[in-house]
Structure 1
Amino acid sequence: MAKLLNIVYHPNPILRKKSEEIDINDLKSGKLQQLLLDMERTMKEKDGAGLAAPQIGKNIRLVVISHNDKTLFLINPKITKKSWAKETEEEGCLSVVNKKGEIVFAPVKRHKKVNFTYFDAKGKKKTLTAEKMLARAVQHEIDHLNGILFIDYLENLPAGIEAESNN
């Protein structure tokens, strides 16, 4: 049975580390398959659009995204092409909360369309073109794998968000 995982919150330094690639042969391990299910449950119960492994304290390139009532499992995802056109929409993040513990939302400019490759939960390499909300979620979650948070795109931190120390 899938378990609920603890979310790591900004300014925890693990959110700023670049994640390690997963050896696709490790997908045969029950441990990694269980982690996928645990991440899916956590994303759904926390009402998230996606969840990246760094958000649960794991430094690996693993993402789950909710799309059209299904869950996409993205292992070692890479954006291969971005549209020239961009759009600004509100974003939030399970790892970025204010002092009251509420998710913070802010407008972020992102590419309207992206092409990306990834391995699915069975280890099959796939290529997908994403638009609209899925494109935004893919960019947001892959940013997590590279140590980038959506607040990095903002000129000013939203109210109630702690600045990170430079130690």
Structure 2
Amino acid sequence: MDKMSYRFITSVRGITMVKSKELSEAFRKKIVDAYVSGKGYENISKEFVISHSIVKKIIYKRRTFKTTANMARSGHPSKFTTRADRKTLKGVSKNPKMSSRDLQQAFATVYAKVHESTIRKRLHNFNYYNLCCLKKHEGKTEVSQRTQRQRPRPFE
């Protein structure tokens, strides 16, 4: 069979765009048919000149959802993965005084750039509160005075 490329040219509002990550429905059906006929992942990947992981994902999607079409999803995909969530929560539990700005910088070095309010909202989902940056006009002395005033005095 001739080599099929990954790129499919589509036209949206008169603009020609190249999709490099999406395979056509017919092409995916050919991959499933080859798998049903008894070929393995490696043989199919060599025949259609695509990686075996793509073949595996297409077959998995066919088995679980009974379709090879693109599935609908709700909203924008999250930048936080489960691994990123675990790592963030671990860092917060080790150092609860860490500000959201510090968390943002640590997150940006490993994963993706997100706003500090996004990190705060994410932590609120996991019942971690009051992990926001100090106000700019407050110095360390004002913060320590404020926290000392708020502490209850035992048995006065």
User: Which TM-score applies when normalising by structure 2?
Assistant: 0.25
Higher relative contact order (CA 8 A, sep 6+): 1
Comparing both structures, which one devotes a greater share of its residues to helix? 2
Q: Computing the radius of gyration over CA atoms, which structure comes out larger, 1 or 2?
A: 2
